[in-house]
Structure 1
């Protein structure tokens, strides 16, 4: 690993851990510990931490160092509002999938079930992201799709704090509607799931804010 690429690899690894919830909001990231973990000097580690702070994934305290940014209900509401608008626009213009694409979606759900049974949370999240992306790639609106992908990366760390979904995969409902070529049902199912997720966020993050205020 060269000195030039080391900070990038550290950034990618830490970013993934943050957005998947492996590093908790408020957790301290010590430069010495990270340097030992990655097997390199503090210099590339410091560069990586500065970059993640510039992305607002970390907060820097001059006296205490770097901490994983805490979750904000206000930020979450705004990010999910943007997601709802962009994703609804994408779904409103998607083409109907071919039979082979529908088979690929079903195979994707089988893989999700397999990873869930193995309790492979990171693998499951990656597989879900790929499946979700395949659905939205049916839209010709590539600029909006690019923005949706960016927003997904920003909201992944919020999704990580939500309780598990016992109501069934919302993506399955979307694929069912796509298979029936029912655009009204497609959008209805999508908005119903957005309502569910946003209400969960308000419940979880609202409770967290109340707990903080009482301390």
Structure 2
């Protein structure tokens, strides 16, 4: 039998995926029985998963509506991106020189991202994997764990900003190529600036949608 904690983690991951891929939209009410059917798990783990996700800020609980997917306004999104900028810049500025294996790994991920036929959901998963492989090379893992939370909270909005993936694949891939080149040269200052530019372009695009 699966340990209860493992079942809650599985349920949390499944609900998080529904939110990040926008199958559950910001402001949408979460009905436990519907989630039980959608992810194929019992009420107990789903109930505990909702509590855990509310602590992470991905969903919100209100007395009248129960749990809903958290909706952010532009000011909140700007604050979120500002926090990401501060933490990511600190992590990136202290990265050690990458190994050949690390560079091969992020380059392989980016080649998949460049595929204009990949789904938006898969592109977002790969984009996150790309950046966190770089972040995880840092020895500042407390900050990296905090980044995980802020990325979760902003991911469903990042998907909104993608638009038509075929039109964005080449642009994102080129931005990532430049970031990998800076990391390979151990030019952390340039890497920070490239990622900052990439991040604020994304926020500007989102400002027209939120």
Q: How does 1:75-154 map to 2 (within 5 A)?
A: 75-114=76-115, 116-119=116-119, 121-154=120-153
Unmatched 5+ stretches in structure 2: none
- Cα RMSD for the two superposed structures: 2.8
**Distance apart, 1:196 and its partner CA:** 0.9
Question: How many residue pairs align between the two structures?
Answer: 203
Other-structure match for 2:172? 168
TM-score when scaled to structure 1? 0.77
The answer on whether the counterparts of 2:11 and 2:41 sit within 8 Å (CA) in structure 1 is no
**Distance apart, 1:13 and its partner CA:** 0.9
| Larger gyration radius, structure 1 or structure 2 | 1
Pick one of 197, 202, 208 that aligns with 1:197.
Answer: 202
**Distance apart, 1:21 and its partner CA:** 2.0
Structure 1 distance, partners of 2:113, 2:144, is: 23
**Distance apart, 1:41 and its partner CA:** 5.4
Structure 2 distance, partners of 1:184, 1:63, is: 48
Structure 2 distance, partners of 1:151, 1:48, is: 18
The answer on whether the counterparts of 1:58 and 1:67 sit within 8 Å (CA) in structure 2 is yes
Q: Deviations over 1:80-118 (max 9, x none)?
A: 11111111112222122233332222222223234x524
Other-structure match for 1:186? 191
